[in-house]
């Protein structure tokens, strides 16, 4: 097993000590229920043929059909997908939505594909996985380097294969194809709602709080935009090429406009369609992570904070918008220093929660207003943040351990409702 899956299992064991579940239930969660690996042939624009490896893991469906994104990335492999599927099981339980966990991916650098090649790959993935996914069994969604249009292609391909319109097979679709309002910024918005809960508990004045965002994709942009609008000072952001830093803070909407228009991250101020360069310091992602700020929001890929650099992290609060940005070894160093970590299975759960809303709307054929979606998401995020925060205080553990224990209690209850050794061993034959 690779380290990322071992990391996930180690955290399960640590949380078990604070959860009210039986050992048998924990053991079941250490083994994914089903795994699929496929080869996807794609005809390239020049007439040549490329074969890509695709993966899908169903981790656990005790609480409902499995749910989880599909990522296109050159480092995708089965062990990573297994870990991500496990985290999805926990995330859905944390948010108390009726899903189990799944995840999928293709080993590919999508930046090297044309748009037509990307469509062929997306449809090819569904063609190979059509019997492994479905509205009542496993519902995919976007993840790293996939988006609403790709989900639309996948939904359309599934509908063609099954000979019926099936919008509820995929979430994160374009609005015009049955997507939900509020899905686009849901991951970052969920993290923002967590920070607002912490703001209340600590009595922060937002204008006194500095924030850095590592990773300026969809989740990072949404979190930065909402925090900036509330008066938080976003002093640094980065993408895969590097970062920019300005002690007085950036005009975040300008950064987002320039990044999305040009695919380049630069220090600018935009008015209308005109952007002008402003003075800022260029920094690396490593330097950004080590800045002395109040809140660090890692929003890119997993494993960016490790045992090797954890002692350089100075932020008081870390809010994990990415999946698995902090390794278990790094956790120990950060917790010892007193850092407060809002874990990924809580902080980035806004995405799967609004995906659940989309699935419900698809099945009802009735769609909600944006204000209702925001209100429902904020209520759920606030409720579960409160449960986990209180559990951490009672058990005298960090937020990650409390979040895992909270999830285990819900999953364990569902498993035990079907009978475990304690039930069957006490059977008297009556």
Instruction: Give the mean pLDDT of the chain.
Output: 94
Which DSSP category does 175 fall into?
G
Domain boundaries, the chain: 35-168, 186-347
pLDDT band at 428 (very low <50, low <70, confident <90, very high): low
Task: Name the class of domain 35-168.
Answer: alpha beta
Tens digits of residue pLDDT in 243-273: 999 999 999 999 999 888 888 888 888 887 7
Separation of alpha carbons 148 and 347, rounded Å: 22
Mean pLDDT of 280-290: 93
CA Rg value for the chain? 21
Least confident of 10-14, 203-207, 402-406: 10-14
Catalytic residue status for 246: no
Which DSSP category does 179 fall into?
P
Q: For residue 35, give the H/E element and its range.
A: strand 34-43
Residue environment code for 254-278, b if the CB has 16+ CB neighbours within 10 A, otherwise e: bbbbbbeeeeebebbbbeeeebeee
- Block residue for tokens 């050992």: 23
Q: What is 74-130 written as a DSSP string?
A: TT--HHHHHHHHHHHHHHHHHTT-S-EEEEEEEE--GGGS-HHHHHHHHHHHHHHHT
Residue pair 219/322 in contact (Cβ under 8 Å)? The answer is yes
Do 35-168 and 186-347 have matching folds? yes
Least confident of 125-129, 169-173, 262-266: 262-266
Q: What is the largest CA-CA distance in the chain?
A: 80
Tens digits of residue pLDDT in 201-251: 999 999 999 999 999 989 999 999 999 999 999 999 999 889 999 999 999
pLDDT band at 429 (very low <50, low <70, confident <90, very high): low
Instruction: Report the relative pairing of strands 66-73 and 268-271 from DSSP bridges.
Output: unpaired
Mean pLDDT of 100-108: 98
Mean pLDDT of 306-329: 94
Residue 1 has pLDDT above 50, yes or no: no
Separation of alpha carbons 320 and 212, rounded Å: 12
pLDDT band at 427 (very low <50, low <70, confident <90, very high): low
The catalytic position among 103, 173, 196, 259 is: 103
Residue 40 has pLDDT above 60, yes or no: yes
Phi and psi at 282, nearest 5°, equal -85, 130
Tens digits of residue pLDDT in 375-387: 999 999 999 999 9
Domain 186-347 adopts which CATH fold? Rossmann fold (3.40.50)
Residue pair 247/236 in contact (Cβ under 8 Å)? The answer is no
Q: Greater confidence, 177 or 240?
A: 177
């Amino acid at each position: 097993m690779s380290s990322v899956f071992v990391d996930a299992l180690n955290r399960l064991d640590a949380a078990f000590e604070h959860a009210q579940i039986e050992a048998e239930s924990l053991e079941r969660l250490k083994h994914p229920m089903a795994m699929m690996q496929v080869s996807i042939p794609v005809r390239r624009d020049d007439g040549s043929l490329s074969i890509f490896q695709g993966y899908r893991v169903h981790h656990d469906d005790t609480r409902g059909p499995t749910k989880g994104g599909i990522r296109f990335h050159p480092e995708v492999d089965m062990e990573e997908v297994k870990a991500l599927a496990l985290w999805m099981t926990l995330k859905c339980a944390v948010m108390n939505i009726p899903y189990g966990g799944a995840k999928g991916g293709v080993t590919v650098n999508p930046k090297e594909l044309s748009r037509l090649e990307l469509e062929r790959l997306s449809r090819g993935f569904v063609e190979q996985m059509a019997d492994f996914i479905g509205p009542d069994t496993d519902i995919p969604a976007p993840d790293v380097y996939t988006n609403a249009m790709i989900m639309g292609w996948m939904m359309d391909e599934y509908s063609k294969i099954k000979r019926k319109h099936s919008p509820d097979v995929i979430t994160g679709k374009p609005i015009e194809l049955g997507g939900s309002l509020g899905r686009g910024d849901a991951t970052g918005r969920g993290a923002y709602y967590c920070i607002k809960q912490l703001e209340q508990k600590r009595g922060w004045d937002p204008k006194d709080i500095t924030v850095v965002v590592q990773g300026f994709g969809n989740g990072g942009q949404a979190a930065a935009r909402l925090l900036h609008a509330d008066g938080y000072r976003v002093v640094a952001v980065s993408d895969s090429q590097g970062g920019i830093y300005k002690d007085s803070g950036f005009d975040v909407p300008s950064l987002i406009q320039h990044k999305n228009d040009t695919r380049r991250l630069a220090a600018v101020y935009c008015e209308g369609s005109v952007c002008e360069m402003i003075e800022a310091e260029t920094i690396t992602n490593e330097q950004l992570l080590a800045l002395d700020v109040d809140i660090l929001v890692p929003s890119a890929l997993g494993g960016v904070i490790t045992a090797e650099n954890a002692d350089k992290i100075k932020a008081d609060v870390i809010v994990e918008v990415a999946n698995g940005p902090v390794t278990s070894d790094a956790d120990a160093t950060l917790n010892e220093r007193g850092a407060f970590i809002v874990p990924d299975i809580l902080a980035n759960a806004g995405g799967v929660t609004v995906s659940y809303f989309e699935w419900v709307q698809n099945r009802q054929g009735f769609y909600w207003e944006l204000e209702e979606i925001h209100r429902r998401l904020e209520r759920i995020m606030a409720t579960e943040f409160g449960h986990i925060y209180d559990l951490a205080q009672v058990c005298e553990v960090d937020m990650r351990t409390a979040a895992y224990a909270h999830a285990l209690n819900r999953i364990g209850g569902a498993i035990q409702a079907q009978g475990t050794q304690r039930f069957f061993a006490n059977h008297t034959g009556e």
